[in-house]
């Protein structure tokens, strides 16, 4: 949870990530965004898959 939403009076800065940790860092952030906004992703995937299914099955 972001510190702003908790109304904490803190300053936050990022730190550099070692090159070999980049794949896992990107995957972790991707999963976090998917989990937080899952309804938007389900709708977007449905809108992308629905025309394909209509073409294949129709």
Question: Tokens representing 29?
Answer: 């952030």
The span from the CA of 53 to the CA of 37, in Å, is 24
Return the pLDDT at 15: 84
Structure token pair of residue 32 = 């976090």
Rounded to an integer, what distance in angstroms lies between the CA atom of residue 46 and that of residue 57? 15
pLDDT single digits (tens) 13-56: 888 888 999 999 899 999 999 999 999 999 999 999 999 999 99
Q: Whole-structure pTM over 0.85, yes or no?
A: no
Given a cut of 80, is residue 12 above it in pLDDT?
A: no
Please tell me the predicted confidence (pLDDT) of residue 1.
63
DSSP character at residue 32? H
Residue 3 or 11, more confident: 11
Tokens of 49: 């898959």
| Mean per-residue pLDDT of the chain | 88
Q: Are 34 and 43 in contact (CB under 8 A)?
A: no
């Amino acid at each position: 949870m972001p510190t702003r939403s908790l109304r904490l009076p803190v300053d936050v800065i990022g730190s550099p990530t070692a090159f070999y940790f980049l794949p896992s860092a990107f995957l972790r952030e991707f999963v976090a965004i998917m989990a937080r906004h899952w309804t938007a992703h389900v709708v977007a995937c449905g809108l992308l898959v629905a025309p394909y299914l209509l073409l294949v099955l129709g």
